[in-house]
A and B are shown apart, each in its own frame.
Chain A
Amino acid sequence: MTSIAPVPRLVEQFERGLDAPICLTWELTYACNLACVHCLSSSGKRDPRELSTAQCKAVIDELERMGVFYVNIGGGEPTIRPDFWELVDYATEHHVGVKFSTNGVRITPEVADRLAASDYVDVQISLDGATAEVNDAVRGPGSFDMAIRALENLANAGFADAKISVVVTRHNVGQLDDFTALADRYGATLRITRLRPSGRGADVWDELHPTAAQQVELYNWLVAKGDRVLTGDSFFHLAGLGAPGALAGLNMCGAGRVVCLIDPVGDVYACPFAIHDRFLAGNIVSDGSFDNVWKNSALFTQLRQPQSAGACGSCGHYDACRGGCMAAKFFTGLPLDGPDPECVEGYGAPALAAARDKPRPGADHSRGTPIMLTLQRPPAKPCNESPV
Chain B
Amino acid sequence: MTAHTVGVAFDPTRTWRLHPQVAVRPEPFGALLYHFGTRKLSFLKNRTILAVVESLDEHPTVASALAAAGVDPDHQAPYLHALSVLVASNMLVRKETP
Spell out A's residues near B (CB within 8 Å). Answer: 1-5, 7-8, 10, 13, 18-20, 22, 67, 69-70, 95, 97, 99, 116, 119-120, 122, 158-161
Contact = CB atoms under 8 A, between A and B. Distances in A.
Contacts of B78: 3-5
Contacts of A18: 27
B44 to A, nearest CB: 6
A22 B41 contact: yes
Contacts of B32: 22, 69
A159 B1 contact: yes
Contacts of A69: 23, 25, 32, 34, 36, 41
B interface secondary structure, majority: mixed
B7 to A, nearest CB: 17
Interface of B: 1-2, 21, 23, 25, 27-29, 32, 34, 36-37, 39, 41-46, 48-49, 78-79, 81-82, 85-86
Contact of A95 (B23, B27, B44): B23
B46 A4 contact: yes
A18 B39 CA distance: 20
Given A116-B1, A119-B2, A1 B36 contact: no
B36 A7 contact: no
Contacts of B34: 69-70, 97
Contacts of B39: 70, 97, 99, 122, 161
Contacts of B81: 2-3
Contacts of A116: 1
A207 B36 CA distance: 39
A116 B3 CA distance: 12
A120 B21 CA distance: 9
A2 B42 contact: yes
Contacts of B44: 2
Nearest to A122: B39
Contacts of A97: 34, 36, 39
Contacts of A3: 45, 78, 81-82
Contacts of A120: 36
B5 to A, nearest CB: 14
Given A7-B46, A13-B29, A1 B1 contact: no
18 contacts: A1-B45, A2-B42, A2-B49, A2-B86, A3-B45, A4-B46, A4-B78, A5-B45, A10-B43, A67-B25, A69-B25, A69-B34, A70-B34, A70-B36, A99-B39, A116-B1, A120-B36, A160-B1
